Amino acid sequence: MDDIKTYMQQVGQKARAASRIMAQAGTAKKNLALENIAAAVLSSTAQLITANAKDTAAARVNGLDAASIDRLTLTEKSVRNMAEGLLQIAALPDLIGEISDLKYRPSGIQVGKMRVPLGVIGIIYESRPNVTADAAGLCLKSGNAAILRGGSEAIYSNQAIAACVHQGLREAGLPETAVQVINTTDRAAVGELITMREYVDVIVPRGGKSLIARIAEEARVPVIKHLDGICHVYIDDEADLEKAIRIADNSKTQRYGVCNTMETLLVAASMAPHVLPQLCKIYLDKGVELRGDETACRFVTQMTIATEEDWRTEYLAPILSVRVVAGLDDAIAHINTYGSQHTDSIVTENYTKAMRFLREVDSSSVMVNASTRFADGFEYGLGAEIGISTDKIHARGPVGLEGLTSQKFIVLGSGHIRN
């Protein structure tokens, strides 16, 4: 334990020193680093997939569930997406140093705000090795230093990606310590990371509910987080049937093991006889287990009765809860009662209802006539995301560059003094 504490203190000291250099780095140098990292990732595709194969093989031996293995697996396409995400981040405007809201006060001074880095960001994550590249890229572009602690199941993948990150930093003349990947899977390292207030400015946990709950409870450093992704699609009584089926299918079956997948389908009572038989046949053909309320079960005999707990469950699996509701009021009430404030969507052709849904559903992403699967930093044009925040202070929704910065007040004068 003493060795872990000493090691983490050294990591923190290096990160703090690197963060000061990164805060001063110009846009051109940061973009060069990102472009170099992207090139290194692409040229190392074979090595990354080979390293990842070691992780996935060990995961199967250790009995990791299918959803976790899906999140862990790297393919040529996902490696290309990593590189593309880094290039998108490089192409984004550099927010650091941006001055806004500059106004003259009656005293003659000018008061405004300047966008600044947070400093040192600790990211703790499980399964997904692409987070190593995404987090490094966003932290670099926003002028921060990063301490990354991936899960033991992705150790070889994370180390291989970290080597690409360090190569890109080195070639751009920036310190490799701007991005440090913790080289131990000892859980004591997490306990140290989330309490090092002198070195770490914010923690971003990405992983299962138990991990995030533990960090939120034990951290002495501010945390950007979400616990669950209990996402809903509501098919309104004025929905276009073809759109509704396409959106609800995609929201659930495009990918099962991610936080923006629909877990509960809500259908207006007048639409249920038209949409449920068609849509549930698609689900059943794809192997999705259906759990519904009594009304839904009458339309689809293969559906089993849902329990109260089902409405509160993030399955991350081919399981779907289905509820027939009276209309928009009931749908909004259900979402605000059982949802996790992550992502919810309405399918309707009624503009007034759509606007009510946007205003009254208390979630970090609210959608009209679109799949919940779009709740993603890459799809939102953020280049990549470091996580999703369902909190209401500082950052909310997919957290990209702006969420990794803060603002400070600046005052411009010319010898002004206060009377």
| pLDDT tens digits, 136-195 | 999 999 999 999 999 899 999 999 999 999 999 999 999 999 999 999 888 899 999 999
Instruction: Report the length, in residues, of the chain.
Output: 419
Q: Are strands 99-104 and 110-117 parallel, antiparallel or unpaired?
A: antiparallel
pLDDT band at 91 (very low <50, low <70, confident <90, very high): very high
CA distances from 330 to 98, 186, 227, 245, 353 (A): 44, 47, 24, 21, 13
Q: Residue 278: count other Cβ atoms within 10 Å of its Cβ.
A: 13
pLDDT band at 43 (very low <50, low <70, confident <90, very high): very high
- Amino acid 93: pLDDT: 93
Look up the pTM and report it.
0.82
Which tokens go with 142? 């926003």
CA distance 379 to 58: 32
CA distance 132 to 123: 9
Q: Check residues 401 and 261 and name the one with the higher pLDDT.
A: 261
- Amino acid 210: pLDDT: 82
- Amino acid 282: pLDDT: 98
Q: Are strands 145-149 and 179-181 parallel, antiparallel or unpaired?
A: parallel
Nearest CA among 359, 360, 358 for reference residue 368: 358
Of the listed ranges 74-78, 357-361, 377-381, the one predicted with least confidence: 377-381
Of the listed ranges 47-61, 121-135, 196-210, 382-396, the one predicted with least confidence: 382-396
pLDDT at 2 over 70: no
- Amino acid 1: pLDDT: 52
pLDDT band at 400 (very low <50, low <70, confident <90, very high): confident
Q: Check residues 371 and 151 and name the one with the higher pLDDT.
A: 371
User: What percent of the chain is predicted at pLDDT more than 90?
Assistant: 83
Mean pLDDT of 121-131: 90
∠ CA 154-194-224, nearest 5°, is: 80
Signed CA dihedral, 273, 275, 280, 282: sign only: positive
- Amino acid 67: pLDDT: 76
406 - beta bridge partners? 116
CA distance 86 to 384: 8
Burial of residue 153 (number of CB atoms within 10 Å: 0-12, 13-18, 19+): buried
- Average of per-residue pLDDT values in the chain: 94
- Amino acid 208: pLDDT: 74
- Amino acid 227: pLDDT: 79
Q: Is residue 92 helix, strand or coil?
A: coil
pLDDT band at 383 (very low <50, low <70, confident <90, very high): low
